[in-house]
Structure 1
Amino acid sequence: MPLSDHEQQLLDQLEQQLRSEDPRFARNISETQAVATGPGFSAKRFVLGILIALVGLAATILAISLVSTSMWFIALGVVGFGLMVVGMYWAFSRPGHTHTTQTESKNVGSKSESKGSAGFMSRLEDRWEKRQRGE
């Protein structure tokens, strides 16, 4: 059910007030909504991915059964396995989905871990030097 003009105006006023009072919170909310309303599940993509995975499975089974006749079927088995992996990835991934937020959070985590490990290593070095000096 659509909002009336009065309700839409009130909502716009509340949004402007929120943006002016707490811009960081408003930015976080709008980023969360952009991620949530992004492209979702695609049945066509899912079916195509499953079909690719099934072709890969068939190629792998065929290669396993015929590997005793020729060694070229090992390559067919590897290609079939690759098709299975690609097909399943294609079927279960979201179209247009970017992983920038995940990689950024991983980078932030690795930076904090490296700082912690650098501090740990420097403490170990200090202890080692103290032992060498006999303290």
Structure 2
Amino acid sequence: MSLSEQEQKTLREIEQSLLADDPKFGSSVQSGDSMGLNGGGFSLRAFAIGVVGLVMLIAGVALAQNSLWFIALSIVGFLVMFGAGIWALRGSGGNSLPSGGAGRASRSPSAAQRANSGNGFGSKMEENFRRRFEGN
């Protein structure tokens, strides 16, 4: 189920206020889009390398009866899989963020200014809450 446009706007405002309140936290969890999903290119490469490592591991185990050298192939396959997993989890500095990530940092100071003024996100939420319950 997708979110309405108002809910998406609210989530973006929450994200911006969190980034403005704690920039260190924001820089540690900031990703290319607001839902935390990376672009597909980087993770697809890591996945492909992991599959190659898995094939090497299975082939080495299956062919280990013919020669003991295939055990080395299994070990190398495991190391390739392990390296691909680490690469996927850590990400690479420049490739993990799509080009939209740079614009987000420039928006956080305006969010900080809004949060410090009386018309911040909290006051808007409080106003909406009061309007709902006064209307009923």
Shared fold (TM-score, shorter chain, > 0.5): no
TM-score normalised by structure 2 residue count: 0.44
Tell me which structure has the larger Cα radius of gyration: 1
- Which structure is richer in relative contact order (CA contacts within 8 A, separation 6 or more)? 2
Normalising to structure 1: TM-score of the pair?
Answer: 0.44
Q: Which is richer in helix? A: 1
